[in-house]
Each structure stands twice: as structure tokens, then as C-alpha cells.
Structure 1
Amino acid sequence: MGNLSKLASLCILLTFWACSFTKKTTQLPKILVFSATKGFRHNSIAAGKTALLKMGYENKWHVDTTEDASVFTAANLAQFAAVVFLNTTGGILNDEQQIAFQTYIQAGGGFVGIHSASDTESDWPWYNNLVGACFESHPVPQVAAFTVNDKNHPTVSFMPDTVRRQEEIYNFKSFKKELVNVVLTVEESSYTGGKMPGFHPIAWYHNYDGGKAFYTAWGHAPQAFSEPFFLQHIAEAIKWATIK
């Protein structure tokens, strides 16, 4: 084989390797982390973004973080395996953006809501059903006993039956008990300020309107996003939400 032929073969091989690498790179699951606020703003958002970017690296996900609601178009959302609402608050999407997000879920998209995602879009019934409840109030952050309700679900399967940790514990209104499957509850006798005696849900999941949704009320403080225990909870939620 002449030098030119060898050079041509080498170029073809290098091109194949480059294309293969590009294909593998573009096939990484893409996760959108959205943290816009139009109400109270948690000082844990920055820590949450950092943790989720690191989580993406560890799990071979491509993670995009943004607070720009203009990314909520049907064409743009279609590239993401899951959308994470990281401590969002208030009315953060306009009518067109709401329709795009609804279309995304109806097409089989995944959703993970963290903490104040339940204090978001309170006037949008479809979103309230997606999350599964609306935030009502909370006492001061304190240590409480949380109970695992479904050991078979990956978001809690690694936990002991009872977990004690400090958290800002949400009370909910309009909880959609008939729609969701609860994986964590809190024992109201273990702290003060609970307003849902008998059954106080903290984390749950469901299939909704063609897509998948998981919500956890954990995630108030910056320290939460350095707790391996909590981070595994979130990582498993994202994995679950991306499985079709």
C-alpha cells in the first residue's frame, strides 16, 4: 500500500473514531435543572446546582442548569430525559411555556421536583397534579423522624426503616393521595409544627398524563446538597424519571 493510500486509510479511521465519540457523547441522557424563582428564594439553590452537575458527571448525564424560562419550548424540551425543578417558587412560566412543558410530559418526559417545587405555579391545576400537592406552611427547620413507606422504590430502598435528619418540613394542601404513591412520611410526634396528623407525606411518585413525576420535600438547606444520603435519594429519582 502506497503512502497516500495509507494516509487515506488513516484519515478514514480517525474520522470513524471521531464520529463514534461524537455519537456516544450526544447519546448521554440530558437533564435540565431549572431553578427560577418569583417568590422566596432558597440560599441552597447554588449548592443544589453544583451537586447536580457533579451528579451528572458521576452518572454520565449531560446536565444543563438555567433560570431562563425561554428554554421551555417544545423543540428544546424534547432533548431532555428529565426536567428537575430545583427549589423553584412562584409563577415562573408564561402560557406558552406552560403548554410546552405540558406537551413535554405528555410525550413521555420525566419530572423531579425538589422542596419548594410544590410552592410553584399554584394557580396552574395541571402542574399541581403533576407535583401531587401544594405547599401550605412550615415550622422552623428541626430534626424529625421520617418513615420509609415503600422499600421497593429505588429512591428509598437504600434507607433504614426510619430516618432522622434535620429539614424544613412542609405542610401541604390539596395533596393528591388518589394519584400518587408515597415513599416517605414524617412522624408528626417527632417534631413540632405538623398540620397533617395521621398521614404526613414527604416524598412520592406517579405516572401522570403520559410522563413520570417524582417529588421530595427534602432539600431546604445548602447542607442537604452535601449529604450523600440525600443526594442518593435525588439521583435515584432522576434515574427513575428517565426510564421509559
Structure 2
Amino acid sequence: MKLKSILFALLFVCASMVHAQQFRALVYTKTAGFRHQSIPNAVVALKKMGEKQVFSVHASEDPNVLKEENLMKYDVLILVSSTGTIFDEEARAALQKFIQSDKGIVGVHAAADSEYDWPWYNQMMGAYFLAHPAQQTLRLEVVDDNHPSTWHLPKNWMWTDELYEYRNINPDLNILLNADESTYKVAKGNGENHPMAWYHEFEGGRVFYTALGHVDSAWEDDVFLKHLYGGIWYAATGEPFK
């Protein structure tokens, strides 16, 4: 009887922990092009973030997690520096249904360096990668501080990273951060309007993207991680904009 009581108590605790989670996140890190060495650091950081902020994190590179019946178990899909063509036709259909079901998608850094033959992905993620110069420090201007990913940031944020430039930028994006190109040496450049983080509602769901996260040190930086968590929270829940 004592053993049964212990097992029952453990089951109760486990069930309580599951129900206590705010939302469920799938971190997908598959690459078909350049692979960023910071990906393992990102997975570790996101799992720690989940523990701290009370949401569940499952990290995978198994394409089977993108099957509709599996993907729909999650509230938010986080694409961390995915590159190249990583979605087959079945996964593409599942991703479209996912976002159309009041779900969220978060893109980090090279998530914009993916799916160049899929215009829907371009519109959903917000832009395609164009180029980047050598890693440098720059001034990031906080364009919109009324979003959970930027509430904590100063108007001028000094940051060091691999600084992406973009093409095919969706004009309907809500820009959060803008790169001040006068503070660093550009590759090709985007000019005065150089978005580095944004969000938008898309086909019934929510999308957040940040260009930051190439360097290993970013995944140990509390300011960056709070920026990212704000975007994840928004994409997963719609708060505080519902």
C-alpha cells in the first residue's frame, strides 16, 4: 500500500507540473545549408528558459515532429537558425495549418535563410537573408517599446553580432528594432530602414522574428534572452495584444 501511495503521489505531482505549463514550445534546429555553431547553446538556453518561465520545451531535428498530428500538440514553433529547404510538402501544409489555428512561429537569426523557393514562407517569416558583413558592434534603435520583446530595452541598444541584411521584406511587418548603419560597416546595406526584429499577425496566427543570436555569447546574455522570451510569449499566447 505504501508503494502505491508513493506512485500515486508522483503521478499527481507530474500531472500538476504538466498542467502548470503556460504553453508548449517546439524548438526545431534542422539545417540543410550553413550550420551555426551556436545551435547547441541555443537549445540549452531555451530549455533553461522554459524551466525559469514555466513553459515546456521539446527540441528536435526529426522531420516527423512536423507532421500535422505532432506539430499541432504545440502552441509555438521556434526555428533557431534553420537554413536551406527543411520542409517537405507535407510539412509545408502542416505549417500553414498550424499558423492558421491561432498558433505562433518564432524565427531566430538564420530562420530567414530558409525556404527560398516558397513565397509563403517569405511572407510569413517576414524577409529573406541577403548578406552580412563581419561580426561587429552597432547601435540598435528600439522603434517600438510597446511589445514584450522590447519593454526592457533602452532606446539605444549597443549590440555585437553577425548583422543580417534582408531582401523581399514584407511591408506589413511591425518593426521592433532597426539597425543604425552609420555605426558599423555594412555589406550591401538596407539603408535607413533596416529592420532587425519584428512581429506581425499572419493568417490567424502570430509571428516574431529576431536577427540576433549568431554569436555563442548571445545565448548567455540576459538582455537578449529576455528579448527573445518576450517574442516567444507573444507568439505563443498573443498576450498582451489579444
Q: Which amino acid aligns with 2:173?
A: V
Please name the residue that 1:228 is paired with: 222
Please name the residue that 1:103 is paired with: 97
Please name the residue that 1:187 is paired with: 180
Matches within 5 A, 1:34-183: 34-177=28-171, 179-183=172-176
Deviation at 1:18, TM superposition (A): 5.7
- Measure, in 1, the Cα distance between the counterparts of 2:236 and 2:223: 21
Deviation at 1:24, TM superposition (A): 2.7
Deviation at 1:13, TM superposition (A): 11
Q: Which amino acid aligns with 1:125?
A: P
- Measure, in 2, the Cα distance between the counterparts of 1:139 and 1:13: 59
Please name the residue that 1:4 is paired with: none
Please name the residue that 1:21 is paired with: 13
Identity of aligned residues (%): 35
Q: For residues 193 and 80 of structure 1, do their structure 2 counterparts lie closer, same or farther at Cα, with a shift above 3 Å needed? A: same
Q: Which amino acid aligns with 1:221?
A: V
- Measure, in 2, the Cα distance between the counterparts of 1:13 and 1:58: 27
- Measure, in 2, the Cα distance between the counterparts of 1:94 and 1:187: 37
- Measure, in 1, the Cα distance between the counterparts of 2:12 and 2:101: 28
The alignment partner of 1:80 has SS state of coil
- Measure, in 1, the Cα distance between the counterparts of 2:206 and 2:5: 43
Name structure 1 gaps, 5 residues minimum. 1-6
- Measure, in 2, the Cα distance between the counterparts of 1:144 and 1:12: 59
The alignment partner of 2:110 has SS state of helix
- Measure, in 2, the Cα distance between the counterparts of 1:151 and 1:26: 33
Structure 1 segments, 4+ long, off by >3 Å, are: 11-15, 17-23
Please identify the structure whose Cα radius of gyration is greater. 1
Q: Which amino acid aligns with 1:171?
A: E
- Measure, in 2, the Cα distance between the counterparts of 1:25 and 1:73: 26
Name structure 2 gaps, 5 residues minimum. none
| Root mean square deviation, CA, Å | 1.9
For structure 1, which segment, 74-83 or 143-152, has the greater mean C-alpha deviation from structure 2 after superposition? 74-83
Task: Give the paired residue count.
Answer: 235
Instruction: Note the alpha carbon deviations across 1:87-117, whole angstroms, 9 max, x for none.
Output: 1000011000111111111111111100000
Q: Which amino acid aligns with 1:192?
A: K
Q: For residues 47 and 14 of structure 1, do their structure 2 counterparts lie closer, same or farther at Cα, with a shift above 3 Å needed? A: closer
Instruction: Note the alpha carbon deviations across 1:167-199, whole angstroms, 9 max, x for none.
Output: 11111000012x210000010000011511121
